[in-house]
């Protein structure tokens, strides 16, 4: 299934449609050295390209979202970035939405520069959405928010991540009694107010963080959920973590799919298995 979707249509609307059509699975593209070795590839630009474009060839026409991790391309310098440009272009041409996992966060003109690199329609790395860090203050993201709106793109804001260091910041309590994580969710709910069928400003919420019943995840936007597969979470765990927000969850699987390469058939089978399990859980089956 290949369907070109106009980037002028809001990201949230495009995401809702492709999630409903293909199932709500995001496959990460994480070409770190150990996975390249598992595929029998050298840890060089040629190996990077074979791995990354192989993943796109295998699954980009059948999953809702792909999420390249920019760091694993940046480590090869300009040649690695050139590979990343091709990966983004080919994945989007196959009808999947691309979330650039770069976790950018800065202030003023620097934040605007990062936004232009990934969210400007004419940028070589233009992506459907970008992960961003709000921990210089949510307002520091305003250049990215503005350009995302203009370009029909989206953002995924780090809110409740599953890394063990995250809680010292995200669970810290403000003077008003809200945690920092809850504050970020509230900002996103405000960004998405009134948007139909889904807002374009999402949160990153780990699938392994446990009980989130004290947090309001009803932000009218997508929840990117890393942690399914090799990190220990399963599709069956998602309802307990996300509750009534489950339909808007985009679970991310990386190694659970990628370790099946370079065989294209095996990669597709792994992605389809995860997508089917997640689709069944969301449907309550």
Per residue in 235-259, pLDDT (tens digit) is: 999 999 999 999 999 999 999 999 9
| 103 given a catalytic annotation | yes
CA–CA separation, 261 and 249 (whole Å):
26
Report if pTM > 0.75: yes
Instruction: Considering the candidates 79, 86, 89, 103, report the single residue annotated as catalytic.
Output: 103
Query: Within 152-231, where are the H helices?
Result: 167-170, 180-192
pLDDT number for residue 4 = 46
If residue 145 lies in a helix (H) or strand (E), which one and from where to where? helix 142-151
8 Å CB contact between 173 and 126? no
pLDDT number for residue 20 = 95
Q: Give the chain's end-to-end CA distance (angstroms, integer).
A: 25
Count how many Cα atoms sit within 13 Å of the Cα of residue 11 in the half-sphere of its side chain.
Answer: 31
Assign 142 to helix, strand or coil.
helix
pLDDT number for residue 231 = 74
CA–CA separation, 279 and 276 (whole Å):
5
CA–CA separation, 131 and 165 (whole Å):
18
Mark the ranges of the chain whose per-residue pLDDT is less than 50: 1-4
* Bridging pattern class, strands 223-226 and 65-68: unpaired
**How far, rounded to the nearest angstrom, does the alpha carbon of residue 213 sit from its chain's CA centroid?**
23
């Amino acid at each position: 299934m290949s369907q070109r979707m106009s980037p002028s249509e809001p990201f949230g609307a495009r995401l809702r449609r492709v999630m409903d059509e293909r199932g709500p699975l995001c496959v990460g593209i994480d070409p770190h050295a150990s996975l390249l070795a598992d595929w029998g590839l050298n840890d060089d630009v040629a190996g990077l390209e074979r791995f990354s474009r192989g993943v796109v060839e295998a699954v980009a026409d059948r999953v809702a979202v792909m999420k390249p991790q920019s760091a694993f391309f940046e480590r090869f310098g300009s040649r690695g970035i050139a590979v990343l440009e091709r990966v983004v272009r080919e994945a989007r041409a196959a009808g999947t939405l691309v979330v650039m996992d770069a976790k950018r966060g800065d202030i003023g003109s620097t934040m605007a520069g990062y936004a232009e690199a990934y969210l400007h329609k004419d940028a070589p790395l233009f992506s459907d959405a970008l992960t961003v860090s709000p921990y210089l203050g949510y307002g520091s993201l305003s250049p990215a928010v503005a350009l995302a709106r203009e370009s029909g793109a989206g953002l995924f804001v780090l809110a409740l991540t599953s890394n063990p260091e995250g809680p010292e910041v995200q669970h810290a309590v403000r003077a008003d009694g809200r945690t920092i994580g809850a504050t970020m969710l509230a900002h996103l709910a405000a960004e998405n107010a009134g948007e139909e069928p889904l807002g374009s400003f999402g949160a990153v919420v780990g699938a392994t963080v446990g009980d989130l019943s004290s947090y309001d995840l009803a932000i009218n936007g997508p929840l990117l959920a890393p942690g399914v597969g090799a990190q220990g979470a399963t599709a069956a765990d998602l309802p307990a973590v996300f509750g009534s927000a489950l339909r808007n969850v985009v679970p991310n699987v990386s190694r659970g799919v990628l370790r099946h390469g370079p065989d294209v058939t095996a990669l597709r089978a792994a992605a389809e298995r995860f997508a089917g399990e997640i689709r069944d859980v969301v449907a309550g089956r």
